[in-house]
Amino acid sequence: MKKKETKLIIFISILILLFSFFLFLIFKPYNYEKEYKIDKFTIKENYNTKTKEYTFLVQDKNLTYPFLISHKYLNKRVLIKDIKVFQDKNKDETCILPISSKLDFYPLCSKDNVIYTYNLANIKIKDFKYPKQDDYNKTYQKITIHNYQDNSYLLYNYKGFYLINKKDNKNISLFKKDVYTIDLLYQMNNYLIIPDYNEDHYFHKFYVIDILNGKKREIEFEFGISYDSIYLGDYKNKIYLLDKKEEKEYRIDLNKLKIEEIDYQILENNKMVDKDFKDIINHKLNFLSIDEWHYQLKDNNLYWLVNKQNIKISNKNVSKIIKNDKDTIYYLVGDELYLYNNYLGEVLLLSNFEWEFNNNNMIYLDK
C-alpha cells in the first residue's frame, strides 16, 4: 500500500513540475515581431525584453506611424484590434488612434508627410481622453509654480537650492557667496552630490541633497580633490569620480557617507575592471547611463526619435533639454520649464526670469 502511495506522490509531483514548466514557457518574455493588417494599415508589432517596450509600426501607404509603449510582457499577440482615423474637412491633416484591450495608446498625427504628436493637431480626436491641465499659479522666491506634476524640483540659486514640491518649498543654503559656475554635480537616483564651492582650487567636502525632501548631509575628507575632475558613472549605488589633475580615482558611498581612493576602474559588461589612467582620459571612458528613449533638438525644434523617425513634440521655440525619463521629457522655452508626455501632452511647470539668461546646471528633478 505504501509503495502505491509513494508512486502516486511521485506521479503527481512530476505532473506539477511539468505543468509549472509549461506555465513558465507560456509566460516567459520573448523578443518577437509579428506583422498583420487592419483595414488599409499594415502593422509590425515588436517586443524588446531588454527595454521592456512594445514598438508598433503602423504603415499607411508611404507613411509609417511609430508607437513606443513601456509595458511588461504580455503573452498575447496582435494587440491592436482597431485603428480610429480622424481627418479635417480637406483631409490635409490626419490623426490615428490604435485601439487595444491590453495597452493604452495615444494618437499620432500627420500633415504633408510630417508626423507629430496629438497636442499639435488642429483636429479634435474623439475616443481619446485629453488630460486636464491645472495651473496653480503660485509664487515662491520669484519662481512661478504652474503645475507640480507630482515632481520634486531642486533649483539652483547661486548660494544653494530652492526645493519646490507639493509638500514644501524651502531654501537649502550651501555657499557663503554667489557661485555662478557649478560643473561638478552628479545625480544618482534621488540624490544630488555637489562639492563645497566655498573652497578654491581643491575641496574637502561634498554636500549630498535628497531631492525629495531637501535633507542635506555632508561627506568630509582630509585630502583635497581638484575641481578638474569628472564623474565616470555610478554602479551598485556608488559614484565613481576621477581627479584628472591629481590622477586619482575615488568611490563615493552616499549611504555610508564615505569616500575612498581606488585603483583606476571602469564598468564593462556589468563588472568593474581595471584600466590605465591615460586610457580612461584619451578614450574618454565612462559608464554614464544612456536612456533608450531618444530626443533631439534641431534648430530649436524638439523631436522624439522612434524607429529612426522624428516625431515633432512641440511648436514652441525650445532652448534646452533639461532631462528625459523614458516617455517624459523636460525642456526649457525661454524662462519656462515644460514637460511632454504621450498621455499628459505638453505641460507648463515652472517659470523663472533668471533661466532666460543662465540655465546651466540650474534645474534638477526627482526620478
Number of Cβ within 10 Å of residue 203's Cβ equals: 19
Instruction: Find out whether 343 and 106 touch, Cβ atoms under 8 Å.
Output: yes
Mean pLDDT for the stretch of residues 305-327 = 91
Which triple of cell numbers denotes residue 331?
525642456
Kindly report, residue by residue over 83-123, the tens digit of the pLDDT.
Answer: 999 999 888 999 999 999 999 999 999 999 999 999 999 99
Helix (H, G, I), strand (E, B) or coil at 306: strand
Whole-number average pLDDT of the chain: 91
Distance CA 324, CA 327 (A): 8
pLDDT band, residue 23 (cuts 50/70/90): low
> Considering only CA atoms, which of 333, 329, 328 is closest in space to residue 359?
333
| Percent of the chain's residues with pLDDT above 70 | 92
Report in angstroms the alpha-carbon separations of 349 from 138, 143, 250, 313, 354. 11, 11, 37, 16, 15
Distance CA 154, CA 74 (A): 38
Q: What angle do CA 317, 321, 326 make, to 5 degrees?
A: 120
Q: In which residue are the cell numbers 533631439 written?
A: 296
> Considering only CA atoms, which of 318, 327, 331, 319 is closest in space to residue 365?
331
pLDDT value at 2 more than 70: no
Distance CA 96, CA 121 (A): 11
Distance CA 114, CA 62 (A): 12
HSE-CB for 171 with a 13 A CA cutoff: 11
- Predicted TM-score (pTM) of the model is 0.88
Number of Cβ within 10 Å of residue 74's Cβ equals: 14
Length of the chain: 367
Longest dimension (CA), the chain: 89
> Considering only CA atoms, which of 136, 141, 142 is closest in space to residue 166?
136
pLDDT of residue 7: 64
Distance CA 96, CA 110 (A): 9
Kindly report, residue by residue over 127-176, the tens digit of the pLDDT.
Answer: 888 888 778 889 999 999 999 988 999 999 999 999 999 998 999 999 99
Say which DSSP state 2 is in. Answer: H
pLDDT of residue 40: 94
Which triple of cell numbers denotes residue 307?
524607429
Number of Cβ within 10 Å of residue 274's Cβ equals: 9
pLDDT of residue 236: 94
> Considering only CA atoms, which of 284, 279, 252, 245 is closest in space to residue 264?
279
